[in-house]
């Protein structure tokens, strides 16, 4: 049985749709899909809890996710005292106002790197949990994404690097 050109196109689209739906998640950034930062905002989180440089993500229907960064390890300081490290692959489960089972994000305490395992939003505050301990910060501190190596203060870091080179 021979198929006409429109029938072949329809069959190909149907097969492609079935294959894509079998993966059960959204990958981004792909043209027309929201970025990982936009997805975060949909769950009531500011985009700045992820550093700049997300190359792709996978969000499943149950809220479990994988986020991939362009760099192997992304480190920077925030608030002048907290050294953060993001692995190239970050995983967890997200729901409105809560990120649980977080893996791939850690904070340096004295000489040890300790994993941040949960982030909660309550009003205008974000709480970051390391086991039973937490630190809270205003949401406004995370309106823009930090950059690897220099965090939120890249202008000062660039000036210091230029001064050191001369």
- How confident is the model at residue 115, as a pLDDT? 96
How far apart are the C-alpha atoms of 95 and 144, rounded to whole Å?
A: 21
Please report the pLDDT score of residue 163 as a whole number: 54
Query: What pLDDT sits at residue 51?
Result: 94
Architecture of domain 24-161: Roll (2.30)
Residue 66 neighbours by CB under 8 Å, 6+ apart:
57, 58, 89, 90, 91
Instruction: Answer whether 117's CB lies under 8 Å from 123's CB.
Output: no
pLDDT of residue 139: 93
Q: What is the pLDDT of residue 56?
A: 94
- Coil, helix or strand for 143? coil
Q: Is the pTM of this model over 0.85?
A: no
Helices (H), 23-116: 36-42
Q: What is the pLDDT tens value at each position of the chain, 166 positions in all?
A: 555 554 444 444 334 333 333 334 444 444 578 999 999 999 999 999 999 999 999 999 999 999 999 988 899 887 777 889 999 999 999 999 999 999 999 999 888 999 999 999 999 999 999 988 899 999 998 999 998 888 877 866 555 555 555 5
Task: Please tell me the total number of residues recorded for the chain in this structure.
Answer: 166
Q: What pLDDT, on the 0 to 100 scale, is given for residue 17?
A: 36
């Amino acid at each position: 049985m021979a198929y006409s050109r429109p029938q072949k196109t329809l069959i190909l689209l149907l097969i492609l749709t079935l294959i894509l739906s079998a993966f059960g998640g959204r990958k981004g950034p792909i043209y027309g899909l929201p970025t990982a930062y936009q997805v975060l905002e949909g769950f009531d989180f500011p985009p700045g809890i992820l550093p700049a440089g997300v190359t792709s993500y996978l969000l499943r229907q149950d809220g479990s996710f994988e986020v991939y960064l362009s760099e192997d390890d992304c480190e920077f300081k925030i608030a002048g005292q907290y050294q953060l490290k993001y692995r190239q692959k970050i995983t967890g489960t997200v729901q409105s106002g809560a990120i649980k089972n977080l893996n791939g994000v850690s904070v340096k305490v004295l000489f040890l790197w300790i994993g941040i395992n949960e982030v909660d939003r309550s009003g205008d505050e974000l709480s970051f949990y390391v086991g039973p301990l937490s630190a809270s910060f205003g949401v406004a501190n995370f309106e823009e994404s930090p950059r690897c190596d220099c965090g939120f203060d890249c202008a000062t870091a660039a000036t210091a690097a230029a001064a050191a080179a001369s």
